[in-house]
Amino acid sequence: MRNRARDTITFGIASAAIILFVGTGGQALQQVIKAMQGNGIGPDNLMVSALLLNVALILLGWRHYRQLVTEVDLHRQAEDQAKQLADRDHLTGFLNRRSLSIAADELITACAARGESVALLMADLDSFKQINDVHGHGVGDNVLQQCARRIAEILPARSLSARIGGDEFACMIPFDSRHPEQLDELASALIEAVALPAQGSELQIDITMSIGIARGDGPLSGGATQATVKALLHSADIAMYHAKRKGRNRYFWFETSMENEMRVRRELEAGIRAGIPLGEFVPYYEQQIDLKTGKLTGFEMLARWKSPNFGIVGPQIFIPVAEDIGLIGQMSEGLIAQALQDAKAWDPALTLSVNISPIQFRDPWFSQKLLKLLVEANFPPKRLEIEITESCLHENVGAVRTLLASLKNQGIRISLDDFGTGYSSFSQLSELPIDSIKIDRSFVQKLTSGGDNATIVRAISTMGAGMGLPITAEGIESEEVLKELRTFGDFKGQGYLYGMPEPADETHKRLADLNLLAVPSEPFSATTAQQDRKAAAG
């Protein structure tokens, strides 16, 4: 306000000065010039003073005018900066969701006018939450910035790139509809680029990304016929989730069939969230046998979901979902607590094996959490074995070694599950404190039906013998396979030949019949077991 008043006054003074200057200046200047030529009297003092005053006022006006221009410039710059901040993601400099929507609308219109198509590519980092949890938010931010840089380097000209969620990027790309393979190449290149090791960082973080692509001239979610930004975003999102479900680190084009899957997936997620506190996840037990003596040595706990909506659900369905929605740790702790109570009723010579997800293995508190469960259940650690897969070993090797050492110090044994399907190196195996390996059932099931299976099983058994590592063969379904396995060495084994995984009460009955209960007279009671669990959980 003050500035405006000042500007008005300045403008008034300068204008008046100019008018006066024209009025007085003409006359005074004439007199001065004449006096200098020697044919006239000198100018009137009053006139000269008025003239000088006018000049001063004009200069003053000019100075104020310059000041005003500078101020307007600064103001405009600040406005631009504020707009930039509102339009841009502060971390990556990419557009944000709001500004993407505006820019994408414009791009769709422009492309339509040029006879081009547009595609929306939605990219989401896999397991970013764990990076944040394990390495801290600073590292997480660096990862995001680095990914954004790599995405920006690869995107074709005129593309838009936005960060629309924590670890979610959306890119809109103009393309020639006759050559959609360009987008296949682009998606592969993006996945490859983010996976490159970070430069100048000592941390070795594996970064993978899942991508969904929707094209404006293709099918869209909800049967939408118009390629709006909203429809494209939604369709690409569905395709991206499909890529996650199919194992992550890959891309998919949107197809209408994916929508159904998405609905089921939402129901699963909601069911799992609700089912954990309601105790719907229960342990089943599969016998483990010493193949040489035929004696029962213990059980592997395998999770089942008694879902009111879906019936009995297997872990292949719900474990990956629980991992994705960050509930695997909580679910697994509940299951292990139940299993420890069940196993306390068994003969103390029998062991209990539990499967641990690689996600749990990244938790720096994992070892403490497991110890707490053992203490609460008053269960001897040496009766517990954890089964981890090779993928647990590929991340931060130093941290993995510390974790394994800490578990071993407590007396817990560690078994490497699904051996042969991953890519553990020989040196890795000999360096890490692993107690046994389990040959994946895919090799065992078809051991006698030719192919390379027998060769692989023989190689693993030779390696195990060389390293002093006991071997368990899983997936024994027939006497034939059992007989063949016995020729390789002294294995432990499990599989449908010995029985399907059973719930706690059936396992209890089986052990009672074999006279293998800790307190032989006590019948299994689900209620007592439940009460014990509650008491143990405090």
Choose from ligand C2E, Ca ion, none: what does 501 bind? Cβ within 5-8 Å by kind: ligand C2E
**Phi-psi label, residue 207: left if phi above 0, alpha if psi -120 to 50, beta otherwise:** beta
Specify whether the CB–CB gap between 194 and 150 falls below 8 A: yes
From the list 182-190, 209-217, 401-409, 494-502, the region that binds ligand C2E by CB under 6 A is 494-502
Tally of helices (H runs) and strands (E runs) in the chain: 20, 15
Specify whether the CB–CB gap between 460 and 471 falls below 8 A: yes
418 binds ligand C2E (CB under 6 A): yes
Residue 385 φ/ψ, nearest 5 degrees: -125, 140
385 binds ligand C2E (CB under 6 A): no
Q: Which is nearer to ligand C2E, 39 or 316 (CB)?
A: 316
Three-state SS letters, 16-76: HHHHHHHHHHHHHHHHHHHHHCCCCCCCCHHHHHHHHHHHHHHHHHHHHHHHHHHHHHHHH
Q: Which is nearer to Ca ion, 239 or 460 (CB)?
A: 460
Q: Which of 315, 381, 422, 503 binds ligand C2E (CB under 6 A)?
A: 315
**Smallest distance, ligand C2E to C-beta of residue 309, A:** 19
303 binds ligand C2E (CB under 6 A): yes
**Smallest distance, ligand C2E to C-beta of residue 320, A:** 9
Q: How many residues bind ligand C2E (CB under 6 A)?
A: 25
From the list 7-15, 181-189, 200-208, 313-321, the region that binds ligand C2E by CB under 6 A is 313-321
Specify whether the CB–CB gap between 414 and 434 falls below 8 A: yes
From the list 203-211, 239-247, 407-415, 492-500, the region that binds ligand C2E by CB under 6 A is 492-500
**Smallest distance, ligand C2E to C-beta of residue 155, A:** 38
Q: Which is nearer to ligand C2E, 119 or 289 (CB)?
A: 289
- Footprint on residues 256-275 left by ligand C2E (CB under 6 A): none
Residue 366 to residue 103: CA distance in whole angstroms: 46
**Smallest distance, ligand C2E to C-beta of residue 533, A:** 16
Q: Which is nearer to ligand C2E, 214 or 356 (CB)?
A: 356
For the chain, the helix, strand and coil percentages under 3-state DSSP, each to the nearest 5: 55, 15, 30
302 binds ligand C2E (CB under 6 A): yes
- CA 318 vs. chain centroid, Å, equals 18
Strand 492-494, strand 384-388: pairing: unpaired
**Smallest distance, Ca ion to C-beta of residue 300, A:** 6
Residue 305 to residue 279: CA distance in whole angstroms: 9
The length of the chain is: 538
Half-sphere exposure at residue 88, Cβ-oriented, CA atoms within 13 angstroms: 12
Q: Which is nearer to ligand C2E, 335 or 471 (CB)?
A: 335
**Smallest distance, Ca ion to C-beta of residue 286, A:** 9
32: tokens are 């001065």
From the list 50-58, 143-151, 449-457, 493-501, the region that binds ligand C2E by CB under 6 A is 493-501
Tokens 């046994």 belong to residue: 436
**Smallest distance, ligand C2E to C-beta of residue 435, A:** 16
Choose from Ca ion, ligand C2E, none: what does 127 bind? Cβ within 5-8 Å by kind: none
**Smallest distance, ligand C2E to C-beta of residue 389, A:** 7
Q: Which of 124, 280, 417, 484 binds ligand C2E (CB under 6 A)?
A: 417
Q: Which is nearer to Ca ion, 387 or 395 (CB)?
A: 387
314 binds ligand C2E (CB under 6 A): yes
Smallest Cα–Cα separation from 460: which of 433, 494, 421, 495?
421
441 binds ligand C2E (CB under 6 A): yes
- Binding residues (CB under 5 A) for Ca ion: these are 355, 387, 417-418
Residue 86 to residue 90: CA distance in whole angstroms: 9
Specify whether the CB–CB gap between 311 and 345 falls below 8 A: no
* Angle value at C-alpha 475, between 474 and 479, nearest 5 degrees: 110
Q: Which residue is nearest to ligand C2E (CB)?
A: 495
**Phi-psi label, residue 443: left if phi above 0, alpha if psi -120 to 50, beta otherwise:** alpha
503 binds ligand C2E (CB under 6 A): no
Spatial neighbors of 253 by CB under 8 A, at least 6 apart, are: 212, 213, 214, 215, 218, 239
Choose from Ca ion, ligand C2E, none: what does 424 bind? Cβ within 5-8 Å by kind: none
Specify whether the CB–CB gap between 492 and 472 falls below 8 A: yes
212 binds ligand C2E (CB under 6 A): no
**Smallest distance, ligand C2E to C-beta of residue 334, A:** 10
Choose from ligand C2E, Ca ion, none: what does 319 bind? Cβ within 5-8 Å by kind: ligand C2E
- Binding string, 331-370, against ligand C2E, x = CB under 6 A? -x--x-------------------xxx-------------
User: Interface residues with ligand C2E (CB under 6 A)?
Assistant: 286, 302-303, 314-316, 319, 332, 335, 355-357, 387, 417-418, 441, 445, 474-477, 494-496, 501
